[in-house]
Amino acid sequence: MSTFKRLAIIGNSLPRRCGIATFSSDLHRAMSQSFDSIETSVVAMTDKGHTYLYPPQVIAEIHDDVLSDYVAAADQLNAGGYDLVSLQHEFGIFGGEAGGHILTLLSRLRMPVVTTLHTVLAEPSPAQRAVLHQIIAASARIVVMAEKGRELLQTIYGTPSSKIDVIAHGIPDVAFAEPDLAKAKLGFADRSVILTFGLLSPNKGIEVMIDAMPLILETCPNAVYVVLGATHPNLLRDKGEAYRDSLQARAEALGVGTKVLFLDQFVDLPKLLDFISMCDVYVTPYLHEAQMTSGTLAYSFGLGKAVVSTPYWHARELLADGRGCLVPFSAPAETGQAIAELLGDAPRRQAMRELAYASSRSMTWEHTAGKYLAAFNAARRSQPLRLVAPGGQGGLPAIGGGPGINFGHLLAMCDDTGIYQHAVHSVPDRSHGYCVDDNARALILACGLVAAGEKTIPDPLVAGFAAFVQHAWNPDTGRFRNFMSFSRNWLEDTGSEDSHGRTLWSLGIAASTDVDLSRRRWAQALFPKAMEAVEGFSSPRAWAFTLLGLDGYCSSRPEDRKAARLRVVLAERLMALLASVGTPQWTWFEEGLSYDNARLPQALILTGVATLAPHYVEAGIRTLEWLMTKQTAPRGHFRPVGTEGFFDQRKSPRLFDQQPVEATATISACIAAWRVTGDSDWRDAALRVFSWFSGNNDLGVPLIDDETGGCLDGLHADRANQNRGGESVICLLISSVEIRQLSRNRDSHPGFIQRRA
């Protein structure tokens, strides 16, 4: 029995011409017809430069390259009271790097998401891997259409099997029938018909079948090969009908021009079923193995056709055990021989047809809708995120959708140069000027707001943060300056290694997620220049900040081999430090703890996920676990390392001053650990650390100014520091964005590794 009332399907939709559009429309029809109590709607993806007359069930459309459309669609679904979203994912239908714009929509949704992956890549680019990890994290359940998809999700993407449903591609429920009536109806009486249908494009292997036709005609002279389908819209836009013309010329050159019939049509379902029904052999001569789903194969198999196919993943599973015939890739001789033998052996062909039809009954759209309903209900039954932190001083009040976002104090701390370092109470302190550290943090915040689909900082301010970073770059030294006076004079030629690493971090984030394309290109151009100095650095934090930047930069520039090499070099340096310094009692990279400690484990976790290196991830988890023991008070609340005097393993820790930067770093690291392990303890830890801002701390004093959005600079032993500097407000806002995402995503996670026993 359904536990929800309103379902939204996000994907392409008819009359757009593609397989995803057909699937989304079929799924909508199946859910609507099978379950009267569920109102099913569609949010349609519209490709650039096209308009479609969508049917009434399409309640919204998203132009793939317009980021604001994704935000508007999410807001519409939230406001409309939809209980669940079914996302149809395929690379190429969403805008942004590797389709990353869809993440903006997902991050804003308040209801569970069940994502159907129409493709699961065995060798994704870094950008594709990063986007898919985040989609998996945002999804309560993942649906694939073949067991190979489940295998790849587990081995390549670290998704737990318990989160995956395998639901075969749906098919129309049509009675088993002989082809004669349909042949007569379509004008193919007394012909042996071989059929391929679908949008025409070079990856379909039509050339192989044309080359096979002379061999087939030797034993079956009345055979005809029908290629049914319009040219793929993208191919048509870029090259017109040149590909179709080349196929026709190929057939003419082989002397089979009259035996290969091209029907340039995108037919409706009744006519399509007639064409499938009339064929004697259906063929899918695809050229590549990595084809997870084929709707054309599913439909032909479901109508009880004898199928000859190359052994791509979907065909290998569907046609096993005699349910079809598999031939090698790009092998005209073997393909022609297999088809000729089937056409000449009616009993074998009939037996194959009957076996395929009988095996496909569980795939009809009625059954498929039932399986999707079960997946949807399982997603709805998922335990909601518990937003009350265990232990501590009074715990953490329920957050609902997360803490609010208030830019009031942030805007007050900025001028046309950048963001001020310090404030006296809430008044900006001009005497201390500016620093690249805080402007880099502000750029990270601005990009994070966009990626999370939150309200954004005014773009002139974001441009100012980027301009400060650019001005801080000193090409003569290959380093960033850090401190600038209020009079706009640099106070140094070269800043610290840590400030350089943090600035690289901001550039890496901007390179992959800045909403402004020109700024993304700026960051992508400056990052490789600035990273050259890092290999000579000795600061572990500079290494970690750079690794965090490389996580973004490498996703936007996966072809940059120098960046990929530097990523491994820096990760290995952290691993070497851990091996040389760490002991069973001191699981850390250095002899002491200082500031931004959790960024070191976070950097290893993210690097391990991106590079498929579980040993980095495990080291990051292990060191973060140890760090949390050092930053947890006896009563259970978060107690960051104090800056009065950073402690080492030979001294007792100093409890004060406690500063927001350490809380923000720890929240980010705990969320990274939760996403990668699926362990809810990390999720709860992030919430508990955030409650430090709201008063769950040693003094029981809130640091957040609800009226202005400001954040106190920290805790002294006897009082809160009433100053509200730039670093503090940025840290609060970054953590607020991350906690809001955590509350929306609830208990979804990619589960890159399993927790150690």
Q: Do 205 and 140 reside in the same domain of the chain? A: no
Q: Do 430 and 511 reside in the same domain of the chain? A: yes
Q: Do 228 and 300 reside in the same domain of the chain? A: yes
Tokens representing residue 7 in the block: 């379902």
Q: CA 660 to CA 715: how far, in whole Å?
A: 9
Q: Do 86 and 150 reside in the same domain of the chain? A: yes
**pLDDT at res. 690:** 94
Q: Which residue, 146, 142, 181, is CA-closest to 158?
A: 142
Give the count of beta carbons closer than 10 Å to the beta carbon of residue 413.
Answer: 27
Q: What is the CATH number of the domain that holds 220?
A: 3.40.50.2000
Q: Do 374 and 358 reside in the same domain of the chain? A: no
Place of tokens 């061999």: 215
| Sequence-distant (≥ 6) Cβ neighbours of residue 27 within 8 angstroms | 9, 86, 88, 170, 365, 368, 369, 372
Specify if 272 maps to a domain: yes
How many domains does the chain contain in total? 3
CA angle 614, 590, 497 (to 5 degrees): 90
Phi-psi region of 138 (alpha: psi -120 to 50; beta: other; left: phi over 0): alpha
**pLDDT at res. 516:** 87
Give pLDDT tens digits for 689-740: 999 998 888 888 899 988 899 999 998 888 888 999 999 999 999 999 999 9
Q: Do 25 and 139 reside in the same domain of the chain? A: yes
Q: Do 76 and 96 reside in the same domain of the chain? A: yes
**pLDDT at res. 646:** 52
| Sequence-distant (≥ 6) Cβ neighbours of residue 742 within 8 angstroms | 385, 402, 671, 674, 683, 686, 687
Place of tokens 């801002």: 693
**Dihedral sign of CA atoms 718, 597, 470, 452 in order:** negative
Collect the ranges in the chain with pLDDT lower than 70: 1-3, 382-402, 644-654, 745-757
**pLDDT at res. 17:** 86
Specify if 59 maps to a domain: yes
Which letter does DSSP use for residue 694 in this model?
T
Q: CA 459 to CA 438: how far, in whole Å?
A: 17
3-class secondary structure, 142: strand
The single-letter code of the amino acid at 582 is G
Q: CA 594 to CA 609: how far, in whole Å?
A: 26
Q: Which residue, 300, 175, 287, 290, is CA-closest to 228?
A: 300
Specify if 61 maps to a domain: yes
> Which residue range forms the structural domain that includes residue 657?
408-745
**pLDDT at res. 591:** 87
Give pLDDT tens digits for 1-59: 456 899 999 999 999 988 899 999 999 999 999 998 899 999 999 998 899 999 999 99
Q: Which residue, 174, 189, 181, 192, is CA-closest to 279?
A: 192
Give the count of beta carbons closer than 10 Å to the beta carbon of residue 185.
Answer: 13
Domain boundary among 301, 330, 362: 362
